[in-house]
Structure 1
Amino acid sequence: MHVTVLKRTLTDVIKHGKSLYQHASVALLGSLPNRCQLCQQRIEQLDYQQWFPYQVLSGICQVCLVASLYQHEVCLGCGREIPLLQAYCGKCLKHTPMLVIAPCSYHQGLGPLIAAIKYQQQCAPLNAITQQLATRINQLIEHKLIRAPQVLIPVPLHPNRLRQRGFNQAWLIAHRLSKILNIPLDDTSLIRVVDTVPQADLSGKQRRENCHNAFKLSDSVSYQRVALIDDVVTTGTTVDEIARLFSQQYIYVQTWCLARAEAPGLLD
């Protein structure tokens, strides 16, 4: 009896201590110098913690963040604007391409921040944008437009590129999503076996050739549903190449990213 009471008391103390630590951490981080990388204004926390408890808004202010998100529903296939919340536009319904989930367009606001995360290691806004991605995912799951995957798989870097850059931004996003959504992260089943050249300045054909056979799956993959995690989807060449490997094993694939770069003219 006394042992049970003691265990409960210790558990309550630990929980209380953890709560105090979280509140103190938020208060401390929220008081540090923190400017928006888009408008350069000081970031005020306002009601951010009411929406996302124990999270500190950093790297981007609420005004710029909200303004950069999709202000309309978009097709999860091609990214074009659609009038209602649904998976595909009429054109994509004919061939149901792979679902790409993102909270915003790369070309309409957050592109510079996402590029800075990858190339300049300016990761301050990563948590806030990832939180918006998680919110978008939960919305789509709630409306039964997507099914939650069994596992999150970040698009891997080749070991040479990982040593050069020092981190894999896709892994950072997947790790954060794993904690928010309580979905396991698997960073061993998918391997990049070819050290491909950067794709930013390549044409569509060159991207396809660059990624061809650049990845392989381990022999122990036993999932039915996976979500590929990346920072941005442009032509979709990389995720399509990876999806082809999973499809050969009858594994359903969707892609989650911080932003998608739609085809030229699609948003005009």
Structure 2
Amino acid sequence: NEAIELCEKCYRSLPFNNIYCVRCALPLADEDNKNTLCGRCIQKLPEYDYAHSVFRYEEDVIGLIHQLKFRDKITYARSFGELLLTAIAPDDDIRSARPDCLLPVPLHPSRLRQRGFNQSIEIARVISKKYAIPIECNAVIRQRRTVSQTGLNAQQRQKNIRGAFAMVKPLQGKHALIIDDVITTGSTVNELSRLLKKNNVERVGVLSIARAPIK
């Protein structure tokens, strides 16, 4: 099986998301902003309680994720899962307050048939195996096919994704960790988190490969 093979030099050259908002994982430019909230979270907190993104969505990471999603490089998802594991610090919520379940962002059935796999599920499998956390693939469904979020601004993304998900299995009182490949504006994971909180999920986190900076 083909996987992402990186030498130490290439691995260290990847755009790690080392300085970020402590709530939404938005990349921040200034070292002085470390361990602070970004401007958007100061104005309005997201529906989820915490987020971790290993990389900034730029340079080589964009190419690798596009290979995964659009060139059928399913084994890349497992490699990204391994990279996520290496980036989880001992004091992160994922270890210190272990989630009850992993919740991969669901694809609409038509898109799943087209792609052949859900990359978020494949990433979740690696984390599930490491930490023995069950994956909830059927607790939430994508009930409405949305147009691609690519090219939409933040307001358009929010409108596009609104009401796209439906809860079909109760997770009341649980700590759920959403797994996604990329957080761009955060509209998708925020809408999913809103639904979970509405259905009495106690705590919601987000774990993604990459987080896009504000342009």
The two structures have a TM-score, normalised by structure 1, of 0.69
Structure 1 pair 246–129 and aligned structure 2 pair: CA distance change class (3 A): same
| Residue in structure 1 matching 2:185, options 230, 235, 239 | 235
Q: Deviations over 1:166-221 (max 9, x none)?
A: 11101111111111222111111011000111111222222112111100111432
| Residue 37 (structure 2) aligned to one of 89, 102, 106 | 89
The structure that is helix-richer by fraction is: 1
Tell me if structure 1 keeps the 8 A contact 2:171–2:200.
no
Query: What do you get for the CA RMSD once the two structures are aligned?
Result: 2.7
Shift of 1:87: 5.0
**Is it true that 1:217 corresponds to 2:167 in the alignment?**
yes
Aligned CA distance change for structure 1 residues 186 and 223 (closer, same or farther; 3 Å)? farther
Matched with 2:209 is 258
8 Å contact kept, 1:88–1:96: no
Deviations 1:29-52 (A, max 9, x none): 8xxxx7xxxxxxxxxxxxxxxxxx
Q: Secondary structure at the match of 2:58?
A: helix
Give runs of aligned pairs for residues 196-211 of structure 1, distance below 5 A.
196-211=146-161
Match of 1:52 in 2: none
> Counterparts of 1:242 and 1:143 in 2: how far apart (Å)?
19
Unaligned runs of 5+ in 2: none
CA distance in 2, matches of 1:142, 1:85: 21
1:165 aligns with 2:91: no
Match for 2:4 among 58, 65, 68? 58
How many residues align structurally?
209
Change (3 A) 1:70 1:119: same
Pick from 88, 92, 95: which aligns with 1:141? 92
Name the CA distance, whole Å, in 1 between partners of 2:198 and 2:17: 37
C-alpha distance in 1, partners of 2:139/2:52? Answer: 22
Please tell me whether Structure 1 or Structure 2 has the larger radius of gyration of its CA atoms: 1
User: d(CA) in 1 for partners of 2:71 and 2:6?
Assistant: 16
Give the fraction of aligned pairs with identical amino acids, expressed as a percent. Answer: 30
- 1:184 and 2:130 correspond: no
Query: Quick check: 2:88–2:94 contact (8 Å CA) kept in 1?
Result: no
2:71 counterpart (120, 135, 141): 120
Corresponding residue for residue 75 of structure 1: 21
Matched AA of 2:213? E
CA change 1:128–1:237 in 2 (3 A) is: same
Q: Unpaired segments of 5 or more residues in structure 1?
A: 1-28, 35-56
Provide closer, same or farther for how the CA distance between residues 218 and 86 of structure 1 changes in structure 2, counting only shifts above 3 A.
Answer: farther
Task: Single out whichever of 100-109 and 230-239 deviates more from structure 2.
Answer: 100-109
